[in-house]
Amino acid sequence: MAIGSDSVSSLTSEITAYLEQKGIELTCCGSLAGEEADYVDAAHDVAEAVSAGECDQGLIFCNTGTGVTIVANKVPGIRAALCPDSFSARIARLANNANVIVLGMRLTGEMHAKEIVDTWLETAPSTEERRVNFHRKTDELDRRYRKDPPPAGD
């Protein structure tokens, strides 16, 4: 999992340690990698790692989460979702096939963040036909506006 932030906080430290305790291999980006980074840099680095296939999923921290969500979603193939609660995390994975979760540091306490992350990790994208169709349509819009050719077999 790629994980990044523009600052180190008790929340970022706690969640990083929590994920490592779960045995999740982390690729740290931005301030979590000891680099000076603003939110644009941190979000881009996480999104790029996921888009390039270096990591299966990403987690980005931001004060509110809005800025990094916007930035991450500019990277081809990224489906970043700001998840203020467990229900949002579940639906982001299940219904939206999100591959990057965003947590607002000013809005989310440590205990709550752990619940959100656990829900995210325990939920897989839906294989239900109607939702898979939503995923396909979303991917097509992504390709159309990026002017990318469709992948073979589409």
What residues are annotated to the active site? 62
d(CA 14, CA 28): 14
